[in-house]
A and B are shown apart, each in its own frame.
Chain A
Amino acid sequence: MSANRQQILDWAASGHLDADKLEQALAVTNSLPSSAANLRFLSRVVLAFAVLLLCSGVIFFFAYNWDDLSRYSKFALAQGALIVSLLPLLRINLQQPTGQAAMFAASLLVGALLALVGQTYQSGADTYQLFLVWAALITPWVLIARMPALWLLLLVLLNVSLGLALNALSIRHLFAPFSNLGWSFFALNSTAVGLWMLATQRLAATRLLLWGERVINLYSLLIITVLAIGYVYSWSNPDGLTLPVWAAFSAFWLYLYRLRQLDLMMLSALVMAAIVLTVATLAHALSGIFPNDGLYFLLALLVTGLSSAAAVWLRKLSQHAVLASNSGSRS
């Protein structure tokens, strides 16, 4: 439907279809979603916001630490909220939006319950153990539900837990040649990408699954690129393998999104990261050689040239993909 819609819009833009007849053309060819589809989409948006607001309300309630309530009442409330959030699952399938929303709400409320434990027994409501236990407790649900949003929640919890643990345990650096703390985040998230791909390779490729993979992979790319730029700007840094790891990661990325399954959005993200890294490296390397004004002009030209070349390459890939799909549909 969206391909038809785009095609009609293209014809209108090129003047082959009279712009006055555009609305009629879209209606005749059913190129706009039906009222039922629109309403279903809006209802899901409303449900997602409802769950987020309700869970935030419960978390804020316990954060208020109301003195007039006894600890038993607080625990009863927290556990009651958790049970109520799971109740819809007695009647509704996990694959339905309401079931998924209930599961997501329950996963959030586990955190509220753990925070209440931390608050009551003075062990702290923001320690790394709390987030780690929270992640561990919801893992079975994550595995059962196979929901991208839950996978991402689990990963966020692990990242927060790792960050807090490094801070709490006063770990300032890791072992050479991966001494920067960023490597631990890179290892965590790139492992998560691998596990995600393994877990979802037999599932039907939905948009949500695709976006889940993209988000984690983009985060990993961001971490490794920041590490690489950091390495370029501090040559005394002992992490000598940073640039080779960046290159290997890029090669793997090319394999994934160029050879295995063409994904132009991910390729353009890689290109952007490569441009930023190249510019940072050249700016550092040439800063003592070129006068400042010449260097900046060179960098402006370099960014423009590299991005244009990348755009030409990506556009060609896109055109080849369109031609291939057209010839596929003809045969």
Chain B
Amino acid sequence: MTQSAALWQHLQQAGLVTGEMPVPNPDDQPPALFLRVLLGASGWLSAVFFCVFIAAFFVSFLSQADTMWGVGVVLCALSIWISRMAKIPLFVEQFIFACSLAGQVFIVYGIWESSASGQLAAAALLILELILFASMGVRSQRATAVFLACAALLWLLGQHAWLYALPVLSAAAAWLWLNRLRFYKGAAYLQPATVGLTLALCATIFIALLANSTELTWLRLAPSNWHTQVWIAAALSSLVCLFLAWQLIQRSVQQPQLRTIALLASVGIGLINLKMLGLAPLCLLLCIGVALAHTRLIWLNLMCLVAYLLLYYYSLNNSLLYKSILLCASGVILLTLYAVLNRYANTLAVGDKAHA
């Protein structure tokens, strides 16, 4: 008996499935990560060439901005129409990805040129991405659409409020990850949305971190009250993350003592987040990834955390001695946390063995 058959039988005995085990159709399997990376990278590359081709071919035609976005609309409509066909070959799927990206560039550039208003172009991009998300038949396109929609939203909010997108994105991404299994029925739309929001959240955190450094002051909301704005955004994201962390703790941590420690650690990270904006959402997503055993989410957040810490300490406008003390103190706190976690991990493992 194969492993799948044994698993099916197990589920049957638990009354969760009925009938014969479905025969797997290799074509129905979603592409593996290595394939998605390959196809995604080549899709973007061919989109660049396709954009340049259209710009070069219609050079005289595209001198008028309104015709430029007209070409973009045609390209996007074409890609939507093809993507909704029942079974499309991989080549066509890749080609419409390139077509759609090229179309989006033309639409946004055309509107930007004709109106000379960044806000209008951002609003157009946001609406366009929402339409693409709802109408595209390819999952990777939907994730890209959500990511670009978030970028448009940040652009639209402008220097007045883009920082406040961070707590909103944190709440949306973490909530969707937490309820990933619960809403599996809508996976075709919710999973790409989750991926797009997570990537947008990571990008926003890094933009906020860079904006906090002295190198990129032009990104600041309002130079006079920048620190107050950062503090409010940090406090909001801490609250959101604490609330969602409590939900995660209730679901995943059974031991009362361990639950208290997890809650204390969450409050601690929430407080540190007031000084290190973006740390709490990254830690929360890492913990959700561990609870769901979602390897890609874990690795994404680990890499983001390493990059975040490097950038944060690098951009601190303090002496090396101050940075050194801060780093050593953080290290000692983490070592203490390691000792506590390791102790409980061993206790739980012993309990599991005894239970088995």
In the bound complex, CA of A60 to CA of B331 (Å): 13
- Verify if B168 is at the interface (C-beta below 8 Å from A): no
Q: Which stretch from A129-137, A190-198, A229-237, A311-319 is at the chain B interface?
A: A311-319
Instruction: State in angstroms the CA–CA spacing of A329 and B96 once bound together.
Output: 40
Interface string of B41-52 (1 = CB under 8 A from A): 111011101101
B45 → A minimal CB distance (Å): 5
Q: Do B328 and A54 have beta carbons less than 8 Å apart?
A: yes
Q: How many residues of B contact A (CB 8 A)?
A: 92
Contacts of A305 in B (CB 8 A): 91
Docked-complex contact A311 and B98, CB < 8 angstroms: no
Identify which of B91, B255, B324 contacts A304 (C-beta below 8 A): B91
In the complex, what residues of B have CB within 8 A of residue A20's CB? 185
A29 contacts B11, C-beta separation under 8 Å: yes
User: Which parts of A228-265 form the interface with B (CB within 8 Å)?
Assistant: 264-265
Against B, the Cβ 8 Å flags (1 = close, 0 = not) of A305-331 are 111111110110011001000100110
Contacts of A1 in B (CB 8 A): 293
Question: What distance in Å separates the Cβ of A117 from its nearest Cβ neighbour in chain B?
Answer: 18
User: Are B7 and A4 in contact, with the CB atoms below 8 A?
Assistant: yes
**Is the Cβ of A61 less than 8 Å from the Cβ of B335?**
no
CB within 8 A of B344: which of A39, A50, A304, A310?
Answer: A39
Contact of B29 among A10, A43, A56 (CB under 8 A): A10
Q: B49, B93, B287, B349: which contacts A303 (Cβ < 8 A)? A: B49
On whether the beta carbons of A17 and B11 are closer than 8 Å, the reply is: yes
The reply to whether A32 and B57 form a contact with Cβ atoms under 8 Å apart is no
In chain A between 1 and 57, which residues have their CB closer than 8 angstroms to a CB of chain B? 1-5, 7-14, 16-26, 28-29, 32-36, 38-43, 45-47, 49-57
B1 / chain A contacts, CB cutoff of 8 Å = 330
Which of chain B's residues have a CB closer than 8 A to the CB of A310?
38
Majority DSSP secondary structure for residues of B touching A: helix
B46 to chain A, nearest CB (A): 4
Q: Mark B316-356, 1 if CB is under 8 A from A, else 0.
A: 00011101111111111011011001101100110110000
Q: How large is the interface on A (under 10, 10 to 19, 20 to 34, 35 or more residues)?
A: 35 or more
Interface residues of B in 144-199 (CB under 8 A from A): 181-185, 187
Q: Which of A47-86 contact B (CB under 8 A)?
A: 47, 49-58, 60-61, 63-64, 66
- The answer to whether the Cβ of A175 comes within 8 Å of any Cβ in the partner chain is no
Knowing A21-B16, A64-B319, A305-B91, say if A292 contacts B56 (CB, 8 Å): yes
Binding stretch for chain B, among A157-165, A177-185, A218-226, A293-301:
A293-301
Q: Is B302 an interface residue (CB 8 A)?
A: yes
Establish whether residues A53 and B331, one from each chain, have CB atoms under 8 Å apart when the complex forms: yes
B252 close to chain A: CB less than 8 A:
yes
Q: Judge if A271 is at the interface, Cβ distance under 8 Å.
A: yes
| Closest chain B CB from A293 CB (angstroms) | 4
Asked if A139 lies at the interface with its beta carbon under 8 angstroms from chain B, I say: no
Known contacts A12-B184, A13-B187, A29-B7; A66/B321 CB under 8 A = yes
Residues of A contacting B321 in the complex (Cβ-Cβ under 8 angstroms): 60-61, 64, 66
- B39 and A311 within 8 A (CB): yes
Q: Which of B2, B254, B319 contacts A326 (CB 8 A)?
A: B2
Q: Whole-angstrom distance between the alpha carbons of A188 and B137 in the complex? A: 47
B313 at the interface (CB under 8 A from A): yes
Assess whether B324 is in contact with A34, with CB atoms less than 8 Å apart: no
Complex Cα spacing A39 to B200, Å: 28
Please tell me if B215 contacts chain A, counting CB pairs below 8 Å.
no
Which residues of B from 106 to 156 have beta carbons under 8 Å from A? none
Q: Are A39 and B35 in contact (CB under 8 A)?
A: no
By beta carbon, the residue of chain A nearest B330 is: A53
Closest Cβ of chain A to B3, distance in Å, is 6
Closest to B8 in A: A11
Determine if B79 is an interface residue (Cβ-Cβ < 8 Å): no
Shortest beta-carbon distance, B104 to chain A, in Å? 16
Which B residues are in CB contact (< 8 Å) with A292?
A: 56
A275, B26: Cα distance in complex, Å: 26
Whether B31 sits at the interface, judged by CB under 8 Å, is yes
B290 within 8 A of A: yes
Partner of A14, one of B22, B32, B345: B22
Chain A: CB-nearest residue to B35: A311
Given contacts A28-B10, A33-B293, A61-B321, contact A54 B38 (CB under 8 A): no
Residues of A within 8 A of B11 (CB): 8, 17, 25, 28-29
A residues near B34, Cβ cutoff 8 Å: 264-265, 267-268, 314
A296 lies within 8 A of B52 (CB): yes
Q: B293 near A5 (CB under 8 angstroms)?
A: yes
Q: Roughly how many angstroms separate A23 CA and B178 CA in the complex, as a whole number? A: 12
| Contact A16 to B22, CB < 8 A, known contacts A4-B7, A49-B334 | yes
B223 contacts A by Cβ under 8 Å: no
Interchain CB contact under 8 A, A42 and B290:
yes
Q: Select one of A2, A34, A304 contacting B98, CB under 8 A.
A: A304
* CB–CB B90/A311 < 8 A: yes
Which residues of chain A are within 8 angstroms of B211 by Cβ–Cβ distance? Answer: none
Contacts of A268 in B (CB 8 A): 34-35, 37-38
- Name the residue of chain A whose CB is nearest to the CB of B95: A304
* Interface: A272 (CB within 8 A): yes
B328 pairs with A57, CB closer than 8 A: yes
Q: Quick check: B42 and A329 within 8 Å, CB to CB?
A: no
**A4 to B9, alpha carbons, bound, how many Å?**
13
Apart from A46-B334, A304-B43, what are 11 other A-B pairs with CB-CB below 8 Å?
A13-B30, A17-B11, A18-B16, A19-B184, A24-B16, A39-B348, A40-B342, A61-B321, A275-B42, A303-B46, A330-B2
23 contacts between A and B (CB under 8 A): A5-B293, A7-B3, A9-B184, A17-B17, A19-B187, A23-B182, A25-B11, A29-B7, A29-B10, A32-B292, A32-B293, A35-B348, A38-B291, A46-B337, A47-B334, A47-B335, A54-B335, A268-B37, A296-B49, A300-B47, A304-B43, A307-B38, A308-B91
